Chain A
Amino acid sequence: MTDTQRYITVDDVSFGYEANQLTLDSISLIIGRGEFVAVIGPSGCGKSTLLRLLAGLVEPTRGKLTVDGQPICGPGLDRAVVFQDYSLFPWMTCRDNIVLALEQAKLGANKTERRQIALDFLSLVGLAQDGDKLPGQLSGGMRQRTAIARALAINAPILLMDEPFGALDEITRARQQDLLLDLWQGGQGDEKAGKTVFFVTHDVEEAVILGDRVMVMGTRPGRLVRDIQVTLPRPRTRMGSLQHPNFSPLRDLLLNELNLVVDELLLPGSSHGAHI
């Protein structure tokens, strides 16, 4: 493999929150530059933990993680993180949240310029009018768009997203997926703007709609069980993907994998009702 194909590497990583606990068990994973990787798995299998390892918020008990050849030691502004419904400080307006991130990333020459950049990115996600609002004054979908605007504004080459649309209603979620597809695909092809995305979700359709690859995680201990290429053409739209003949087989394949994972947890023979 060339170096661009080995952009993010996770090499035999294990992790436990407590001393003799195994939350993640020897995870190995390679992500190429500009790749969109979706991760699914039953609740509690360690998806967020893996993302926190990549973010540098926690350190592995064993193994090694690297970005662009450099070991990950601590959080960095090269990796923008979007959490589920809580990426913003509630005491700052949406714009100020982004301005603070820009300040930290040393982008924009002065306050005025940073405010302008913040507004530009808010417009990009359709929130041009809402910069002066507090996160608490926005709907869940608007908050997540602000968080995405912030992640894009600091221009990090890597986006780590932990169920960013998990708390949204169906219609809002569908719109956010299309928006994310637009924004991400808009940057691809451009060597500098193209972003590498690690996207955690518990929604199989979302994983297929968005990802180039879908990783399926198993539980107890958390591990990778399958790595499936999504054979849908780019650029995609949500609708286009749903209607593509490859969509259903992929979804069924993934659902089946998840069922197998969940079945291992249940008593033998109770393969029904395995819900993710």
Chain B
Amino acid sequence: MNSLDAKSRLYGLMSFLVIVIFLAGVYGLLTDVLRLPNAVLFPGWQKIIPAFGLSFKQLLEGLASSMGLLAPAVAASVLTGVAAGVIIGLRPKIEAVLLPFIRAMNPLPSTMLIPYAIAVMPTFWFSSWIIIYIGVLWPVLMNTLHGIAMLEPRWIDNARCLNLTGRHLVFKVVLPGAMPQIFAGINAGLIRSFLLLTVAEMIGSKAGLGYFVQYYADFAKYDRVIVGMIWLSFIVVLIMTLFDLLKKRILYWTKKR
């Protein structure tokens, strides 16, 4: 059972690598060999690979800087989003009042708030931080509310029959029961955080992966831009994979057999 699982996962990884290598090959053929597309916009591997070597230190520093912004912002969104979700979600009357507001906020790009963020927050770092924080907060909050609203009535009946209240009710029933939906919210929030990173890093700061890509794009150095994008994608895939592993661990009980 487990070995089969590992086997199929290995198979998936291998297929993925084959496809990546194939696509890289096609790209190399079009650019390095046939020189078909515009060489400035589509530099070949001959230019990209040296650019990677030249940028390596910058990429690592950029990664550290980006994670230093992303991790605290996402962590804060998740903590406050879930906490607020539980507090509001267990009070249907309050939820009914707040839900339209929360729904309205969710699709608004938090980047619109940049001028306000710069004016209100003490430093540029905090301005960037709050743009990501707000962007991630809504999907987490909305999904937590949704998860609580969708708790199976039988779990609630059970909790009531066992006289579960307060802290016990929240940590033994409400949170575990809503956890699949909460994870869906964090997933959506994470994806949004990567999109916001580029924009957030343009505020005052001179570091980060988003900044790296944007900086070289402004100078039309597309070999560096592509290096930055490949690196960023790699980091995103890595983070999402780790997130999936965490999800599997915490949602162990939803596993289908």
A-B contacts, CB under 8 A, total: 53
Complex interface residues of chain A between 36 and 60 (CB less than 8 A to chain B):
55, 57
Q: Interface of chain B, helix or strand or loop or mixed?
A: helix
Whole-angstrom distance from the CB of A135 to the nearest CB of chain B? Answer: 8
Query: Which stretch (A82-90, A234-242, A250-258) binds chain B?
Result: A82-90
With A91-B253, A136-B253 given, is the CB distance from A100 to B157 under 8 Å? no
Q: Please, which residues of chain B bring their CB within 8 A of the CB of A101? A: 162
Q: Please, which residues of chain A bring their CB within 8 A of the CB of B176? A: 89, 91
Q: Please, which residues of chain A bring their CB within 8 A of the CB of B123? A: none
Taken residue by residue from 87 to 106, chain A's Cβ proximity to chain B (1 for < 8 Å, 0 otherwise) reads as 11111100000001100100
**B57 contacts A by Cβ under 8 Å:** no
**A4 contacts B by Cβ under 8 Å:** no
Task: State the CA gap A80–B157 with chains docked (Å).
Answer: 12
With A83-B157, A91-B253, A136-B257 given, is the CB distance from A75 to B172 under 8 Å? no
Task: State the CA gap A235–B73 with chains docked (Å).
Answer: 66
Does B162 contact A77, Cβ atoms closer than 8 Å? yes
Q: Please, which residues of chain B bring their CB within 8 A of the CB of A55? A: 161
Interface residue range, chain B: 20 to 34
Taken residue by residue from 170 to 210, chain B's Cβ proximity to chain A (1 for < 8 Å, 0 otherwise) reads as 00110011010000000000000000000000000000000
Does A75 contact B154, Cβ atoms closer than 8 Å? no
**B160 contacts A by Cβ under 8 Å:** yes
Cβ contact of B163, chosen from A92, A104, A137, cutoff 8 A: A104
Task: State the CA gap A91–B173 with chains docked (Å).
Answer: 9
**A215 contacts B by Cβ under 8 Å:** no
Does B253 contact A75, Cβ atoms closer than 8 Å? no
Q: Interface of chain A, helix or strand or loop or mixed?
A: loop
With A89-B176, A91-B176 given, is the CB distance from A76 to B157 under 8 Å? no
Cβ contact of A104, chosen from B162, B177, B257, cutoff 8 A: B162
**B164 contacts A by Cβ under 8 Å:** yes
Taken residue by residue from 143 to 173, chain B's Cβ proximity to chain A (1 for < 8 Å, 0 otherwise) reads as 0000000001011011011111000100011
Complex interface residues of chain A between 68 and 85 (CB less than 8 A to chain B):
74-77, 79-81, 83
- Can you name the residue of chain B whose Cβ is closest to the Cβ of A160? B161
Taken residue by residue from 9 to 35, chain B's Cβ proximity to chain A (1 for < 8 Å, 0 otherwise) reads as 000000000000000000000000000
Q: Please, which residues of chain B bring their CB within 8 A of the CB of A180? A: none
What 8 A-B pairs have minimum CB-CB distances, sorted nearest first?
Answer: A91-B253, A91-B176, A86-B154, A81-B161, A104-B162, A75-B160, A75-B161, A90-B253
18 A–B contacts, CB within 8 A, in A order: A55-B161, A57-B160, A57-B161, A75-B163, A77-B163, A80-B161, A83-B154, A83-B157, A86-B158, A89-B172, A91-B177, A91-B179, A91-B253, A100-B162, A100-B164, A101-B162, A104-B162, A104-B163
Q: Which residues of B contact A (CB under 8 A)?
A: 152, 154-155, 157-158, 160-164, 168, 172-173, 176-177, 179, 252-255, 257
